[in-house]
Each structure stands twice: as C-alpha cells, then as structure tokens.
C-alpha cells in the first residue's frame, strides 16, 4: 500500500539516483513539490544530508547506497518497496539501479509493487 500526502493522494513513487548532485536535488524537490513520493539515493550519508534541508519527510525516503554494489542496490529497492509499496520510475545517472528495478519488475510479471 502506498502512503499518501495530507490530501489523501499521491502521484506515484519515483527513485531519484545520484541525488547528491545539484541536478538530482532539483529533480527530487520538483517531484516532491508536484505530489510524488520519492526515494533519494546517493553514495554517502553526507551527500544525502546536504540535500535534505527543506524537503518534506512524509513522502521522502533517503537511502545511502553504492550503485555499483548489487547487494546495496537490492537493499535500496527493498527499502523503497517496504516504505511505499511500489516503484513507478527510476530517474538518474545510476543505470545499475534502473536495471535492477527492471529485472525485478519483469520477474514479478510486470508488477512494480511488493
């Protein structure tokens, strides 16, 4: 089940990779402002801490993960699915995260939900 905003609706769930970059931070903030639930990821907690001020917490999940480590990518996807119940899209330069999400979705018969 996907958690929702105060009005009882959410547009969906997006994972924003490389959120520690300026472009990643802007993308994450724009999605939040537009009503999406988002999971942001960066390689380090320090990168995430730098972008977090001013972002709403109830539709936001921040996870430090190395996109080159398949175990950390799997844990990232598990945490997002555990929090929001689904993933609608993966945005950003970390193609390993998007690839892992697509593989998982195809193995589940095209369903991106937990």
pLDDT digits (tens, 9 = 90+) for 37-95: 999 999 999 988 888 887 767 899 999 999 889 999 999 999 999 999 999 999 876 67
- Judge contact between 65 and 87, C-beta under 8 A: no
**What tokens appear for 33 in the block?**
């402002």
How far apart, in whole angstroms, are the C-alpha atoms of residue 93 and residue 38? Answer: 16
Residue with tokens 């993966």: 90
- pLDDT at 53 (0 to 100): 81
Residue with tokens 């089940």: 1
For residues 103 and 78, the model is more confident at: 78
pLDDT grade, residue 8 (50/70/90)?
Answer: very low
How far apart, in whole angstroms, are the C-alpha atoms of residue 87 and residue 28? Answer: 15
How far apart, in whole angstroms, are the C-alpha atoms of residue 42 and residue 21? Answer: 9
């Amino acid at each position: 089940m996907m958690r929702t905003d105060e009005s009882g609706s959410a547009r969906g769930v997006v994972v924003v990779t490389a959120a520690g970059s300026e472009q990643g931070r802007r993308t994450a903030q724009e999605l939040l402002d537009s009503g999406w639930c988002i999971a942001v990821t960066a390689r380090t907690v320090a990168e995430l801490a730098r972008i977090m001020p001013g972002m709403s917490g109830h539709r936001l999940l921040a996870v430090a993960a190395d996109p080159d480590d398949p175990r950390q990518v799997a844990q990232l996807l598990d945490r997002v699915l555990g929090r929001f119940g689904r993933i609608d899209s993966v945005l950003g330069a970390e193609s390993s995260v998007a690839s892992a999400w697509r593989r998982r979705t195809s193995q589940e018969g095209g369903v991106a939900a937990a």
